[in-house]
A and B are shown apart, each in its own frame.
Chain A
Amino acid sequence: MNYKKNAEQRNAMMAALLVRHRTALYGYIFACVRNHHDAEDILQDVSMAAVGSIDKLQDESGFLPWVIEIARRRVLVHVRRSQRTTILSPELVPILAEAANRVAATNCISDRSEALLECLESLPPRSRQIIIQRYDGSIRGVDELAEKLGRTMQATYGVLKRIRQRLRSCVERKLSTEASG
């Protein structure tokens, strides 16, 4: 594709790529900041910066490193400002950026996301309820969930871990079924 001659098509492709790689991009950001609010804010910020500097995108193959580089800079700013006690080393930010590039390049993340959504929908009612309570943003952390469930923190972590393991097995099963089908 000649990107210089077909700017309109390049624009459309860029935005579509942003949609396609959203999960990998979010994964990278969340791995660095470990807070869904912050990750979502940074992602939206990165998306807007990418759309705004579209002229800097040379070709499709350069999209992912380019947008992850935008994310890396914003994550670094966030990490330096963060008040967390157990903070991620800034040295890891580029290492995770490279990992995100490799993950996104395998094209498996989209299939995994689709499978994960199906697995979430098929969770038994009580597991579903616990996962929603844990992740929907209505509680701050596992301590609150533990209190709500009337369980110890450790027991609650155990429950959540088992549900996540169950989801993980479900995703793997679906992916292997698709691969063999």
Chain B
Amino acid sequence: MNVESDFDLLLAYLDDELDDTEVASLTERLQAEPSLAEQLVLLAGEEGKIAEWAAATSRMRPPVDSPPRRRSFGVARLVASLVLSLTAAIGVSAWYAMQENPRKDPIAAEEEPAFDARLVKTTGCTWDEGQADISDGSSLEFGTTLQLIGGIAEIEYASGVRVVIEGPVTFELSSADSGELTVGQLSATVPKKATGFTIQTPTLAVIDRGTQFGLRIDEAGTTEVHVFQGEVETQTREPEEAPKVRKTLTTTQAAKFNDRGRFAGWLEPDYGGFAGAARHAYGVTHTDRAMRWLPKAPPSLEEGELQSGSDIFLFLERRGVVLEQDTEITSYQRRGTQAHFSIEVVTLPAGTQVDSYMLHFDPGASTQSRLGGIRFERPILGIIARADQLRATDDIFGAHGTRYHCKNAATRGLDDGVEGGAEKKSPDVVAYKQDTGLAFALQVHPGTLDQVRILVASEEK
């Protein structure tokens, strides 16, 4: 293995790329050079952070099938081999070769996109006859109509617009700044530079005003527009000569339009129902491996209903809640380390606008400890970790359709390890990390569960 620096050498070692002789030589150096050993530990810690970030980022995308929380190589390899067999015809290397200015370094190449659009990632895709050779990395020309029978495909326009289509769906890449959805559903994430990007449906033009949104069209021609972030404008298309009927939707708004493109009522925004409602739609930028993100609030949080010995579950409960009155919570942000949950009461003032997230750890019949961390896009305002405060705020912040009732309601929150005025066992601990991060060490005993409601500042409208 040819290595040019200690950094390369240590990276190669961690990647298991050194042979026996090279490992022996490195071992000698590590014994003789304390600074090299420190460099190795530091690099290995960073490798762990990257793996944590990659797993969390990958997990944020709602999966087609139930996602393995831990790495399941057997299944992953099977899926990978299937994808590889599909990519044989074109393949990513061929895609690079097709560039006007092919460059071997994909990092350098991305500064000069020479494609109309391309397929970034496909998951479990079955394409219509004639499109079987489409695979990850395929370039797509404007005018191409994609007919996806099943699965999820993510398309990237050269402008940076990302469209995720979910089969069954028919979608045409019309031009650099538009696409056409005939039937099915998609979600689009539009960067600022591409504002004005438009998705045409048979009855509507949905024009981006700097946003992330989802579109769904059923066989009867009814269209749903869900705005996850930002703003979109809808315009009727028919009849062509008639004045357009316009409607504007903003963050967290969703609406239904009839088969003539006319407004037909408001909907609850369906964050969990769109694969492309990417993580920023949820306002969470990072979770570590102990946590499992649920794209949709579960039907029940009662004991035993959402149970795992290894996973701490997290989901968005509600967005944009404006407090009608002063509300008791357990701690404010920037309180440092927190472990006295039974006695803490502070108040969040009326008028505060928050997004609410629920963290839930119920390992069942065994005692389990987990360490975890989470980072949000916007500042954390505080947490609710006391059982009585959780109960009192379920109606205010709780997800619609989720049952929060617990038979042993007193054991819902975090535990400070104090019983009868004396310390009996290890407490749960929460530590604020800057204004957007939270780290925690949870320990759950049989018959109890840990829950924390995390309140994050809503985006200003």
Residue of B nearest to A16 (CB): B337
Q: Are B20 and A85 in contact (CB under 8 A)?
A: yes
Does residue B76 face the partner (Cβ distance < 8 Å to A)? Answer: yes
Docked-complex contact B37 and A99, CB < 8 angstroms: yes
Task: Please state if A150 and B92 are interface contacts (CB–CB under 8 Å).
Answer: yes
Given known A96-B41, A116-B50, A150-B93, contact A15–B441 (CB-CB < 8 A): yes
User: Given A15-B339, A36-B51, A135-B55, A28 and B44 touching (CB < 8 A)?
Assistant: yes
Q: Residue-by-residue, is B1-16 near A (CB-CB < 8 Å gives 1, otherwise 0)?
A: 0000001100101111
Residue B110 interfacial (CB < 8 Å): yes
Of residues 130 through 181 on chain A, the ones whose CB sits less than 8 Å from some CB of chain B are: 130-132, 134-142, 144, 147-151, 155, 157, 159, 161-168, 171
Residues of B contacting A112 in the complex (Cβ-Cβ under 8 angstroms): 42, 45-46
**How far is A124 from B83 in the complex, measured between Cα atoms in Å?**
24
Which of A12, A120, A125, A138 interacts with B427 by CB under 8 Å?
A: A12
Inter-chain CA distance A167–B427, complex, in Å, is 37
Q: In the complex where A86-B16, A165-B7 touch, is A31 in contact with B44 (Cβ < 8 A)?
A: yes
> Do A157 and B17 form a contact, CB below 8 Å, given A30-B48, A116-B46, A166-B107?
yes
- Does B265 sit within 8 A of A, measured CB to CB? no
How far is A26 from B79 in the complex, measured between Cα atoms in Å?
29
- Neighbouring A residues of B109 by C-beta, 8 Å: 126
Known: A116-B46, A117-B49, A165-B7. A140 touches B16 (CB 8 A): no
| A19–B27 touching, CB < 8 Å | no
Instruction: Give the distance in Å from the alpha carbon of A164 to the alpha carbon of B255 in the complex.
Output: 44
Asked if A80 is an interface residue, CB under 8 A from chain B, the answer is no
Which of B23, B41, B54, B55 interacts with A86 by CB under 8 Å? B23
Would you give the 0/1 interface string for A86-116, flagging 1 where the beta carbon is closer than 8 Å to chain B?
A: 1111011001101110110000010011101
CB contacts under 8 Å to A, within B265-296, are: 285-286, 289
Q: A26-B48, A150-B91, A159-B105 are in contact. Are A15 and B429 (CB under 8 A)?
A: yes
Given A16-B429, A16-B441, A30-B44: A164 touches B11 (CB 8 Å cut-off): yes
A/B interface sample: 17 pairs, CB < 8 A: A11-B427, A18-B441, A22-B371, A29-B44, A30-B47, A31-B41, A84-B16, A85-B20, A87-B23, A88-B27, A127-B106, A130-B106, A136-B57, A137-B55, A138-B76, A157-B15, A171-B46
